[in-house]
Amino acid sequence: MKRLAIALFTLLPLATMANDSTMNRLQARAQELIQQMTLEEKCAQLMNSTPGIERLGIRPYDYWNEGLHGVGRSGRATVYPEPIGLGATFDPELVERIGDAVAEEGRAKYCIAQKQGNYNRYSGLTYWSPNVNIFRDPRWGRGMETYGEDPYLTGQLGVAYVHGLQGNDPVYLKTSACAKHFAVHSGPESTRHEADIHPSMRDLYETYLPAFRTLVEGGVESVMMAYNAVNESPCSSNIYLMHLLRKQWGFNGHIVSDCGAVDDIYQGHGVVPTAAEASALAIKAGLNLECGSTFHALGEALEKGLITEQDIDKALLPLLLTRLKLGIIDQDPACPYNNVPEEVICSEAHTQLALRAAKESMVLLKNTNGLLPLRKDTKRIYITGEGATEVYNLMGNYYGLSPRYTCYLQGIINMVSNGTSVDYRPGCMLSTPNSNDINWAIGDSQGSEITIVVLGNNGNCEGEEGEAIASPLRGDRAHLRLPEAQLDYLRKIREGKKEGLILVLTGGSPIDMTELYDLADAIIMTWYAGQEGGLALGQLLFGDDNFSGRLPITFPRDVNALPPFDDYTMQGRTYKYMRDNIFFPFGYGLTYSKVRYLDCAIANVISSGRENVTTVNNHSRANKPIALKAKDLQTITCHVTLRNEGKMAVEETLQAYVRVPGADAPLQQLAAFARCPLAPGEEKTFEIRIPKQQLLTVNAKGESELRKGEYKLTFAAAAPSERSQELGVEHTDLAFTIK
């Protein structure tokens, strides 16, 4: 064993030297290519659609590609749940596996496209994903692209996706991931091209920046700048934000504008009067790549002396390095990702991964008297609602196209006994009132034991500017209520059906539950579940699997009680700052099992690399909180004991929340989370590690600090609040002091 340890120790420096040598070779090659290009050729390489340079062996390449939840906008691909659904999984390991599967399919599709001479948009390996903006307001149409409202959850899932997309080679990239949109971006869509946001330093460093920093420190290859301005400076030319990335966080990849954002510097924001001046501002600030065509004015900017050729060279170097690390300029034989077979595209393994993700993402919000799970030999089931057969309700946005989609009707039919009578009628259109005063669906539902109504939203109702064609707010939502046609239909179904009514909701954002909660006996939020959504719902409804999804965003009681949509102040928003106006809290979700939170304890504290066991008076039942020393504190390891009192196995999504001392601190902040498997009747103690970073709070200057005083640590099935207590959310807590 000692010999092996010595051998490994000897090999590690050699491996590091080999990696450094490879990187130096790629750096030298990038510099060589830049030296051989004309100035005009260099400028042309700074826009997303780059021409080939045949004499240098450089083929045409378009940097614009999408991989938000599967290879997007590029034909056949496995389609996974929309990121808001992936946020509901609280499962970084799953998200990393999905990223790896997306990269595999992307590599295979790229190889085929190259052989066909397809160099068009959406055929490359630079994926502009993930979106790690914070879903601070439920009215934002693009919130579905994010992992929810919490910076820590967002960072953990985002960096997992990046690691999956980029692979584990120390130099070469499987694909290139992108952290977007930097920074302070989350609607409204209608003003995103001219909005100037002035966040407080506390909100900036506590809410809007942490996930980006996590991805940068995790090695993300690119960062996309947002359309909006921050403190009067458009993000694509914002020196403060660029300096933060490069100098403070050590980012060494490439920086790209959002599409058309350099236009906004002089048109939307009116900072300068011309395209040449806008281009010069962006290049001088540190932008490497423009998505758009404003950089056609770089020649004019050079002629006027606004920028120099050295500025162009500096901007171009990281871009060429990205392509060299992908191994796609010189067909580098050392790149381990060159020969991914076509068979991985929509493979059975990826299909099963999509099914697992869909099941983990769905959230059970209500289950009166244990109505669910359903018996497979139920005598009569009636299915209604246009969403039961509408494939578009599975897709979300930035989606690929799968050769197979299982809608919710198919998933239910797949599960029931052949002796069960099942019927279906749409009964209601998504947003248009029925014009016929006779609707057989309402009467038919009354004679069934179980009626399943599938309602909600799709990408016509919410999404990005220009995509959500039924939204009068360019993709955002003025309110969170279902369309009146859907509400009226559900009311009529309820009038004639006193029990057995199950409501399935699709969508990418919170839905007003104030009336819906009383109209249905069981409610399930399926989000945009991807290609396997139907099978997933069927298996969950009939108890082949247990629910485990949790809300990654608070469902408010009244959207009008929230701060104005265009107010970026965090007070009154998200579980961290909402005292009331909560219908369903962040982290909430039911299962078919009753999991009890029995006890919690601090097992040890890692300080200066040494573990000091502190097990005296540290249980939740103890009266006196233990004292910890702030100096060099790194990690607190806790033990939490859970017991599954149900008859089904469950993966309990355990969440740890910390209450930091100080009147200006958040009400609570997520400090850790874990999926905890429990067999029926099993009692088990789980280890939860809370890093020092999650004990910090941000002061008015934007500085992180570890405050002295008493901390409250709560392990719970949802974020602590009065509403959580009303809903009977299980929890156990303890206190400790830092001195």
Q: Specify the pLDDT at position 608.
A: 63
Taking the C-alpha atoms of residue 486 and residue 597, their distance in angstroms, rounded to an integer, is 39
Contacts of 403 (CB under 8 A, 6+ apart): 76, 346
Taking the domains of the chain in order of start, what are their residue ranges?
A: 20-45+191-319, 360-584, 595-738
Determine the pLDDT at residue 180: 98
| CA distances, 619 to each of 141, 353, 599, 695 (Å) | 44, 39, 7, 19
Q: Quick check: 6 pLDDT over 80?
A: no
Give the mean model confidence (pLDDT) for residues 645-666: 97
pLDDT score of 621: 56
- The average pLDDT across 569-586 equals 98
Residues 62-76, mean pLDDT to the nearest whole number: 98
pLDDT in tens, 707-724: 999 999 999 999 999 999
What is the pLDDT of the chain when averaged over all its residues?
A: 95
Top pLDDT among 619 and 125 is at 125
Average pLDDT over residues 652-666: 97
Of 141, 122, 142, give the one whose Cα is nearest residue 132: 142
Is 60 exceeded by the pLDDT of residue 54? Answer: yes
The H or E element spanning position 84 is helix 83-87
Residue 16: both structure tokens together: 């590091």
Percentage of residues of the chain with pLDDT beyond 90: 92
Mean pLDDT of 185-203: 98
Q: How many CA atoms lie within 13 A of 315 on its CB side?
A: 30
pLDDT digits (tens, 9 = 90+) for 463-508: 999 899 999 999 999 999 999 999 999 999 999 899 999 999 999 9
The residue-averaged pLDDT of 339-355 equals 98
Residue 493: which of 423, 429, 439 has the closest Cα?
439
Q: What is the pLDDT of residue 609?
A: 54
Place of tokens 């390449």: 61
Report percent pLDDT > 70 for the chain. Answer: 96
Q: Does pLDDT of 10 surpass 70? A: no
Which pLDDT belongs to residue 12?
57
pLDDT, average across residues 396-410: 97
Query: Per residue in 523-536, pLDDT tens?
Result: 999 999 999 999 99
Q: Which two tokens stand for residue 325?
A: 């690390």
Question: Which residues are identified as catalytic?
Answer: 258
Instruction: Provide the CATH number for the domain formed by 360-584 in this structure.
Output: 3.40.50.1700
Coarse DSSP helix, strand, coil percentages of the chain, rounded to the nearest 5 percent: 35, 20, 45
Beta bridge partners of 380: 421
Give the pLDDT confidence of 78-123 residue by residue, as tens digits.
999 999 999 999 999 999 999 999 999 999 999 999 999 999 999 9
| C-alpha count within 13 angstroms, C-beta hemisphere, residue 715 | 32
For residue 607, the model assigns a pLDDT of 79
What is the mean pLDDT of the segment spanning 270-297? 98
Whole-number pLDDT of residue 739:
93
* Contact residues for 637 (Cβ-Cβ < 8 A; gap 6+): 602, 603, 604, 605, 606, 687, 688, 689, 690
Q: What is the pLDDT of residue 437?
A: 84
CATH topology of domain 595-738: Immunoglobulin-like (2.60.40)
Residue 567, both tokens: 């107010």
- Hey, which CATH number is domain 20-45+191-319, 3.20.20.300, 3.65.10.10, 3.90.420.10, 3.40.50.920? 3.20.20.300
